Amino acid sequence: MKLNNYINGSWQDAGGADYTAVVNPANGETLCEVRLSGMQDVDEAVKAAKRAQKEWALVPAPKRADYLYEIGRLMKERKEHLAQVLTKEMGKVIEEGRGEVQEGIDMAFYMAGEGRRLFGETVPSELKDKFAMSVRAPIGVVGLITPWNFPVAIATWKSFPAIVAGNTFIWKPATETPMMAYEMAKIFDEVGLPPGVANVVFGSGGEVGTAMIEHPDIRVISFTGSTETGRHVAELGGRHLKKVSLEMGGKNAVIVMNDADLDLAAEGILWSAFGTAGQRCTACSRVIVHRDVKKELEERLLEQMKGLTIGDGLDESVKVGPVINASALEKIHGYVEIGKKEGAKLLAGGNVLEGDSLKGGYYYEPTLFTDVKWDSRIAQEEIFGPVISLIEVDSLDEAIEVNNSVAYGLSSSIFTRDVNQAFRAQRDLDTGIVYVNAGTTGAEIHLPFGGTKGTGNGHRDSGVAALDVFTEWKSIYVDYSGKLQRAQIDTE
Ligand code: NAP
């Protein structure tokens, strides 16, 4: 099967395009082929989106929202099918696949509700017989660039606020995971979105991504991916004066204080660190533990790690699926070797896994390092795999300092029973998301999602905050005095 672009409400035919294989990371099987589009395809999609946007912006927002209710309904109806496709193309275990699809469904209904809000402000004017208000205005054609680790949820965080606010979009999914985008394009088509409102263009970041960023008629780029790519996107976007929203890498930590419930902490750490084989942007890759409970926590982690079944995520009993591809395996193993050279103590794991039951997939053993120095490379750089580094500290202040020492600022967590420590931590942890007595993952769609420092550039996906990316504020003054009133001058 060949996946082709969805542009202007129809499927592009194959033409003379090149295709690349989409591979199931659980067993190396080719699932389908996907088009490698070029500048021409992007231009065609942008022309369609631009034509459609004028009309779309005039459709009343509650009517635009009706399409989202329908999209949510169809996603709900197909939840199991979508989750199976997601697990096949990306590898996360089926339970997490269902969770991710549910996130998309939640986002559809939540943003549909915004169709009847999209709140602006009415405020008093400083002058008599004058009315002042602000409204959210759509921006135009927006470009969405998404990563492979959440092939559907992230796209819904971006595309749903974009369309409810009156924009039209071009979505470029990661080349590793185009199948969910194809499934979503089918849904956009079935609900009858006007042609050109939703467009999906497949292809590499270098070709399609660059063409989108440089296209003069794309006004906003909303990007999620690595910090390295994000920096490049921002530089190029800046040159073209684009509004660029970036959600990038993380180096998230769980802090475990000496009064914590250690069983709960261990459970939270393993779920955050090894879920999605450590490839969530919010994955826990550092555990900052109080000296008094370090030994006990290590024992509990090792004990609970014995229960982690590794294999194809479609098997309901499996807890840790494969990583995305061979180069991810190589990168993760490279970091494990670096950790050993840096003097960290390997307590468990540290191997690429092979064997008949794993059928040629890309599996890495859940890995636990202890005695890791806070400033070593494995404690500072994003590994994006199932590897935990334990770092010992003496106090909450030191724990917070270590947490904040990295270049990223996405998610952090603290396990403590002391309400004072919990509140100090949530104030002082320099991350966009903080959890108390839970791991570093588990965001809900009605709150802003994003991070500080190298994780983001001040924008947020999800929640009402997502609307800020896809709207401009317009301030409107209506003077009904019948005379010229000059602000700041005619104040008597
Ligand atoms: P990536 O390599 O940066 O790719 C992300 C997207 O950017 C893909 O669609 C990719 O396309 C595209 N891209 C690559 N080069 C580009 C270029 N020169 N111009 C424009 N677009 C380009 O990241 P990834 O490996 O897919 O995803 C993992 C990273 O995403 C991790 O660092 C993770 O922490 C981060 N992430 C962050 C969040 C968050 O919300 N903060 C959420 C999820 C993931 P192709 O791959 O098709 O070439």
Kindly list the averaged pLDDT for each block of 10 residues, start to end, along the chain of length 492. 97 89 98 97 98 98 98 98 98 98 98 98 97 98 98 98 98 98 98 98 98 98 98 98 98 98 98 98 98 98 97 98 98 98 98 91 98 98 98 98 98 98 98 98 97 98 97 98 96 78
The burial of 139, by beta-carbon neighbours within 10 Å (0-12 exposed, 13-18 middle, 19 or more buried), is given as buried
Nearest atom of ligand 1 to the alpha carbon of 236? 19
CA distance 20 to 243: 31
What is the Cα 339 distance to its own chain's centre? 27
Asked whether 90 lines ligand 1 (CB < 6 A), one says no
Which two three-digit tokens encode residue 273? 């660190």
Which pLDDT value is given to residue 356?
86
Query: 175 to each of 134, 145, 182, 277, how far by Cα in Å?
Result: 40, 11, 12, 20
Which pLDDT value is given to residue 149?
98
Q: What is the CA radius of gyration of the chain?
A: 24
Query: 167 to each of 137, 145, 227, how far by Cα in Å?
Result: 9, 16, 26
User: CA nearest 78: which of 183, 5, 148, 200?
Assistant: 183
- Residue with CA at minimum distance from ligand 1 atom 35: 225
Ligand 1 mutation target, pool 92, 224, 431, most atoms within 8 A of CB: 224
User: CA nearest 191: which of 78, 41, 81?
Assistant: 78
Asked whether 175 lines ligand 1 (CB < 6 A), one says yes
Asked whether 452 lines ligand 1 (CB < 6 A), one says no
Beta partners for 286?
Answer: 253, 389
Ligand 1 mutation target, pool 229, 245, 276, 460, most atoms within 8 A of CB: 229
Q: What is the pTM of this model?
A: 0.98
Asked whether 433 lines ligand 1 (CB < 6 A), one says no
In the reported structure, the alpha carbon of residue 224 is separated from the centroid of ligand 1 by a whole-number distance in angstroms of 6
Asked whether 161 lines ligand 1 (CB < 6 A), one says no
- Residue with CA at minimum distance from ligand 1 atom 46: 174
In the reported structure, the alpha carbon of residue 248 is separated from the centroid of ligand 1 by a whole-number distance in angstroms of 8
CA distance 439 to 157: 22
Query: Which residues, 6 or more positions from 89, have their beta carbon under 8 angstroms from its beta carbon?
Result: 22, 24, 31, 151, 176, 177, 178, 179, 180
Asked whether 147 lines ligand 1 (CB < 6 A), one says yes
Residue ranges of domains in the chain: 2-248+456-476, 252-436
- Residue with CA at minimum distance from ligand 1 atom 37: 248
Which CATH superfamily includes the segment(s) 2-248+456-476?
A: Aldehyde Dehydrogenase; Chain A, domain 1 (3.40.605.10)
Asked whether 20 lines ligand 1 (CB < 6 A), one says no
Residue 113: CB atoms within 10 A of its CB come to 15
Q: Which residues are catalytic?
A: 247
Query: Which residues, 6 or more positions from 469, have their beta carbon under 8 angstroms from its beta carbon?
Result: 158, 161, 220, 222, 243, 245, 459, 460, 461
Which pLDDT value is given to residue 492?
76
User: CA nearest 383: which of 393, 368, 371, 401?
Assistant: 368
Asked whether 319 lines ligand 1 (CB < 6 A), one says no
Q: Residues 431, 223: contact at Cβ < 8 Å? A: no
Which pLDDT value is given to residue 9?
98
Which two three-digit tokens encode residue 454? 């190298």
Fold held by 252-436 = Aldehyde Dehydrogenase; Chain A, domain 2 (3.40.309)
Which pLDDT value is given to residue 491?
79
Nearest atom of ligand 1 to the alpha carbon of 249? 34
